[in-house]
């Protein structure tokens, strides 16, 4: 250690001195003269047993007309009251798009793809984030699809080509059957019917492109030597899937689109959103999954919950739950 660096450390004080010991001299110079960089957080790293996991945000939006998207209509005053009581905004439903990425040795799995290539800067952050953690598109070995809505399937094909060329693509037969049926049945859905022909056409095109790498997973079947298990959770779509990940005594249940809002869709499991293809079945599925997660104290992850979207649910009374997010941590 030179006299020069010693005197400077003494001048900076003891905590700065400790800090400087962790950095090479050039880094110390930089730290002293420049403000700390703004760390834009859209990648959160955590562990599931021996599996390294990342929660990556593909973006965010506010869906309008807020609780005008929620059903049953008769309960909207109660929904509004609940939002107000919890200091939540009521001018739109905040839509998070979170992508779970797992890495174990040379295997990399992604769970849905985000919107893919979009003109809107609010979305499409996933690919750059993936690259920034050293994962190239060619490194992805398993690509799981929960269901074929554009925020989930959009990124699996770009410009009519497969985005992750070395990945096996996993989907349920029920989901394929729905989109390829002569006339996909949206009769129970509250969705804007005008969107549906375009949505169906786009999905058929995407599935055709993905056909050479497509693998069908049945309810309860698993990959990665049992580490990743698919469970059919129908209602949001016919083949909507959730994923149970386990490793070395730890587990995570990725509930995908069972919840689009961290308050409304826990406070009353009977409240649904317009995107559900079959709201009644979506409620039956949600009740079943929530009840089990409550009893088993399952650690959960949600595609549309506030990022990084890890947490637990707790039962308040029958069919009423609270979402309890995990505290943000950098590893300890």
- Least distance between Zn ion and beta carbon 274 (Å): 12
Bond before 75 cis per omega within 30 degrees: no
- Least distance between Zn ion and beta carbon 185 (Å): 19
Q: Minimal CA–CA distance to 271: which of 74, 85, 71? A: 71
Pairing mode, if any, of strands 43-48 and 70-71? unpaired
- Least distance between Zn ion and beta carbon 257 (Å): 4
| Residue 58 binds Zn ion (CB under 5 A) | no
- Least distance between Zn ion and beta carbon 319 (Å): 22
DSSP state of 290: H
DSSP state of 92: S
Q: Which is nearer to Zn ion, 123 or 169 (CB)?
A: 123
- Least distance between Zn ion and beta carbon 95 (Å): 8
Q: Which is nearer to Zn ion, 51 or 241 (CB)?
A: 241
Q: Minimal CA–CA distance to 113: which of 139, 148, 160, 161? A: 148
Q: Which is nearer to Zn ion, 12 or 199 (CB)?
A: 199
DSSP state of 256: G
The span from the CA of 275 to the CA of 281, in Å, is 13
Q: Which is nearer to Zn ion, 246 or 307 (CB)?
A: 307
Q: Which is nearer to Zn ion, 151 or 175 (CB)?
A: 151
Quick one: the chain helix, strand, coil %, rounded to 5? 35, 25, 40
- Alpha helices (H) in the chain, listed in sequence order: 3-12, 14-21, 25-33, 76-85, 126-132, 150-153, 173-180, 196-210, 264-267, 279-296
Residue 154 burial class via C-beta count within 10 angstroms: exposed 0-12, middle 13-18, buried 19 and up: buried
Site string for Zn ion, 115-154 (x = CB under 5 A): ------------------------------------x---
- Least distance between Zn ion and beta carbon 112 (Å): 8
- Least distance between Zn ion and beta carbon 21 (Å): 47
Contact between 125 and 42 under an 8 Å Cβ cutoff? The reply is yes
Q: Which is nearer to Zn ion, 28 or 151 (CB)?
A: 151
CB-closest chain residue to Zn ion? 257
Q: Which is nearer to Zn ion, 151 or 231 (CB)?
A: 151
Site string for Zn ion, 241-280 (x = CB under 5 A): ----------------x-----------------------
Place of tokens 């799981």: 144
Binding-site residue total for Zn ion (CB under 5 A)? Answer: 2
Contacting positions for Zn ion (CB under 5 A): 151, 257
């Amino acid at each position: 250690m030179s006299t020069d660096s010693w005197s400077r450390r003494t001048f900076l004080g003891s905590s700065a001195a400790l800090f400087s010991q962790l950095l090479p001299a050039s880094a110390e110079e930089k730290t002293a003269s420049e403000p700390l960089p703004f760390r834009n957080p859209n990648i959160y790293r955590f562990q599931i047993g021996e599996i390294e996991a990342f929660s990556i945000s593909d973006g965010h939006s506010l869906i309008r007309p807020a609780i005008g998207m929620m059903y049953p209509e008769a309960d909207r005053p109660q929904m509004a009251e609940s939002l107000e009581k919890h200091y939540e905004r009521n001018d739109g439903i905040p839509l998070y798009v979170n992508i779970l990425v797992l890495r174990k040795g040379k295997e990399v799995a992604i769970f849905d793809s985000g919107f893919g290539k979009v003109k809107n800067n609010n979305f499409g952050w996933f690919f750059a984030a993936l690259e920034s953690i050293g994962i190239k598109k060619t490194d992805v070995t398993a690509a799981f699809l929960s269901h074929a809505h554009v925020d989930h399937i959009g990124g699996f094909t770009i410009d009519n080509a497969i985005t992750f060329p070395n990945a096996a693509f996993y989907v349920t037969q029920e989901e394929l059957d729905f989109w390829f049926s002569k006339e996909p049945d949206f009769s129970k859905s509250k969705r804007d019917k005008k969107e549906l022909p375009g949505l169906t056409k786009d999905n058929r095109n995407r599935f055709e492109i993905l056909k050479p790498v497509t693998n069908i997973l049945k309810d309860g079947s698993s990959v990665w030597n049992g580490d990743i298990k698919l469970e059919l959770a129908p209602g949001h779509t016919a083949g909507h899937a959730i994923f149970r990940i386990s490793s070395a005594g730890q587990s995570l249940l990725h509930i995908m689109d069972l919840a689009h809002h961290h308050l409304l869709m826990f406070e009353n499991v009977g409240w649904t959103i317009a995107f559900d293809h079959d709201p009644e079945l979506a409620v039956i599925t949600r009740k079943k999954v929530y009840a089990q997660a409550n009893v088993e104290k399952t650690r959960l992850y949600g595609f549309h919950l506030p990022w990084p979207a890890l947490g637990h649910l707790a039962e308040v009374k029958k069919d009423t739950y609270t979402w309890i997010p995990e505290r943000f941590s950098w590893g300890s």
